[in-house]
Chain A
Amino acid sequence: MERLIEKWQDKISEVTIGAKKPVKIGGETGIFFIDGEDKCPNPPKVAMEVWDMEPEAWPETLKANFGKALKTPGEWAKMCAEKFGADIICLRLASIHPDSKNTSSQDAGKVLEEILGAVSIPLIVIGSGSPEKDNDVLLHCANISKGQNCLFGIATQNNYKTLTAACVSNGHSIISEAPIDINIAKQLNILICDMQFPADKIVIHHATGALGYGLEYTYSIMERTRLAGISGDKMLSMPMISFVGQEAWRTKEAKTGAKDTGIMWEITSATAYLNSGADILVLNHPKAVSETKKTINNFTLRQ
């Protein structure tokens, strides 16, 4: 039987992250991993989370992989890059949150510099989820890492101006996030571009739901975004990121289930998001990283 190959009229923008060893994401001309439809010019990348403090809420099965390195962000990042094969490091500035340690911009800047000195792979830098504090700290971090071409987040519809300005003046890329709302995602990208921000430095995040916790909603929104993007909607033709690790390890199954349940949860969620079009998967467990990378290789080798 003849296979019907869909031809799409447009392509996803290519975003380059990093300076010393830059990686490219995006550039798709079709749906990922459909033989003949997409050439997959830049296979999806796996990022690993590194925090600026020891993540107290992480279960032991997860913490055990990193040992003492959890107390030293530079060491932790090096371990992720060299031992576990991460393509990108995702620095989460958890300690700056006023309800956590309320650490300062300068403290965060030191951690960022420590990681930049320890690894040469690209960096994602995200805040703590406190809009005002994040604005202060990320502005400082964007300034001191000028020229490193990091990916900063997270810009939302109600809080995007400071971060956009900080990224545009320091040459960084930005993560724009709309909580599972494709119309707001498009609007936010327009607002960011209206500030003279280049569209090919935006990465979309639709919020991530782990398996059993809203994965299917995010999946279908991501798929729709990708279809709109390759159909010519320039304000949605950006690569996408999924924070799979944080969501998988938040589930009660991962925290209280059998030893490997969390890992399985993370791998399963990551695999689903790969198929929905995610270009960067942010993961936590080294086993999930190696298995997801295997899956990516298998998928892309087949083409």
Chain B
Amino acid sequence: MFIIGERINGMFKDVAKAIKEKDKAAIQSLAKKQIECKANALDVNVGPASSNPREAMEWLVKTIQEAADITLAIDTTKQDVMEAGLSLCKSKPIINSVNANEEKMKALFGLAKKYKASIIGLTMDKAGIPKDSEGRLELAMKMVASCMEHGIDVSRLYLDAVILPVNVAQPHAKEVLKTIRDSKMLSDPAPKTVLGLSNVSQGSQAQYKSLINRTFLSMAIASGLDAAILDVTDKELMDSLITAELLMDKQLYCDSYLDAYRKK
């Protein structure tokens, strides 16, 4: 499982404050903590409140890379902010994200080619998020085709079937799981799959969020999920992830399998 740490996001108050005050130590400590908790990459999002998102993104990328050598997922909807972030990444970055709009695909697959980036593709377009897995797969296929047209290896495309909060869109969860399973049939080699996990519990009561997250993650791993953007510092969530991978025969069992995973 490829794990992308979600914490460096301006939606969180501490990160917004750190960006505003240019508090490098706060950001670097979040980066290091997530890497300690076994993140393979870190999501970087300046958040909605930033007055100059481009400058904030550049500062975040530089600040993180001063403290850690890790893959970054540049998370923004603005193309100039995206390119500003990508151009500063020392190792091959991840674009978070493209969707199935023609002009978006053209621009962002172009950037993926230019910066040798992997790319997260949300199964949505101008009309929004399809209500079932068939609609999601149709958009997924468009992105697979666009990826191929741009000469990018499809295994660098991470399809995100876009999970919606369970408290407002309950029927979507099982459609997302079906999309994860079926998207493996879209091409050979198949695109990878990813989830922005925490969205599933958005708006649910605080005491249930972690439980909802880890239960859904286990179900998604059983459906063949390859990657997830999640809170790596949530120990119970990570324990569930490791155990689900173990049960899927991705790791060899031993009595200390949780420790073994964390020693990797």
Residues of A near any B CB (own CB < 8 A): 182-184, 186-187, 190-191, 193-194, 228, 232-236
**Which B residue's beta carbon lies closest to that of A188?**
B254
Contact partner of A182 (CB less than 8 A), chosen from B252, B260, B263, B264, is: B252
- The answer to whether B12 has its CB under 8 Å from any CB of chain A is no
Are B252 and A190 touching (Cβ within 8 A)?
no
Are B254 and A184 touching (Cβ within 8 A)?
yes
Residues of B near any A CB (own CB < 8 A): 251-256, 259-260, 263-264
Interfacial chain A residues near B264, Cβ < 8 Å: 232-234
In whole angstroms, how far apart are the Cα atoms of A216 and B264 in the complex? 30
In whole angstroms, how far apart are the Cα atoms of A184 and B252 in the complex? 10
**Which B residue's beta carbon lies closest to that of A178?**
B254
Q: B256 → chain A, closest Cβ, in Å?
A: 5
Q: A167 → chain B, closest Cβ, in Å?
A: 19
How many A-B residue pairs have C-beta atoms within 8 angstroms? Tell me. 34
Are A190 and B253 touching (Cβ within 8 A)?
no
List 8 extra interface pairs beyond A187-B254, A233-B260, A233-B264, CB under 8 A. A183-B252, A190-B254, A190-B259, A190-B260, A190-B263, A228-B252, A234-B264, A235-B260
In whole angstroms, how far apart are the Cα atoms of A232 and B253 in the complex? 14
Are A187 and B263 touching (Cβ within 8 A)?
no
Tell which of A182, A183, A184, A187 has the most Cβ of chain B within 10 Å: A187
Are B263 and A235 touching (Cβ within 8 A)?
yes
Interfacial chain A residues near B252, Cβ < 8 Å: 182-183, 186, 228, 233, 236
Interfacial chain A residues near B251, Cβ < 8 Å: 233
Q: A297 → chain B, closest Cβ, in Å?
A: 33
Secondary structure of the A contact surface, majority rule: helix
Are A183 and B253 touching (Cβ within 8 A)?
yes
In whole angstroms, how far apart are the Cα atoms of A233 and B264 in the complex? 7
In whole angstroms, how far apart are the Cα atoms of A232 and B251 in the complex? 10
Q: B217 → chain A, closest Cβ, in Å?
A: 21
Interfacial chain B residues near A187, Cβ < 8 Å: 254-256
- Which 4 A-B pairs have CB atoms at the shortest separation, nearest pair first? A187-B254, A186-B254, A190-B256, A183-B254
Q: A142 → chain B, closest Cβ, in Å?
A: 25
**Which B residue's beta carbon lies closest to that of A157?**
B255
Q: A196 → chain B, closest Cβ, in Å?
A: 13
Interfacial chain B residues near A236, Cβ < 8 Å: 252
Interfacial chain A residues near B256, Cβ < 8 Å: 187, 190-191
**Which A residue's beta carbon lies closest to that of B256?**
A190
In whole angstroms, how far apart are the Cα atoms of A187 and B252 in the complex? 10
In whole angstroms, how far apart are the Cα atoms of A139 and B255 in the complex? 28
Q: A28 → chain B, closest Cβ, in Å?
A: 18
In whole angstroms, how far apart are the Cα atoms of A191 and B254 in the complex? 11
In whole angstroms, how far apart are the Cα atoms of A228 and B260 in the complex? 13
**Which B residue's beta carbon lies closest to that of A232?**
B264
In whole angstroms, how far apart are the Cα atoms of A194 and B254 in the complex? 14
Q: A183 → chain B, closest Cβ, in Å?
A: 5
In whole angstroms, how far apart are the Cα atoms of A42 and B260 in the complex? 27
Interfacial chain B residues near A233, Cβ < 8 Å: 251-252, 260, 264
In whole angstroms, how far apart are the Cα atoms of A183 and B264 in the complex? 16
In whole angstroms, how far apart are the Cα atoms of A193 and B254 in the complex? 14
In whole angstroms, how far apart are the Cα atoms of A184 and B259 in the complex? 14
**Which B residue's beta carbon lies closest to that of A199?**
B263
Interfacial chain B residues near A228, Cβ < 8 Å: 252
In whole angstroms, how far apart are the Cα atoms of A183 and B253 in the complex? 6
**Which A residue's beta carbon lies closest to that of B253?**
A183
In whole angstroms, how far apart are the Cα atoms of A186 and B165 in the complex? 40
Are A234 and B253 touching (Cβ within 8 A)?
no
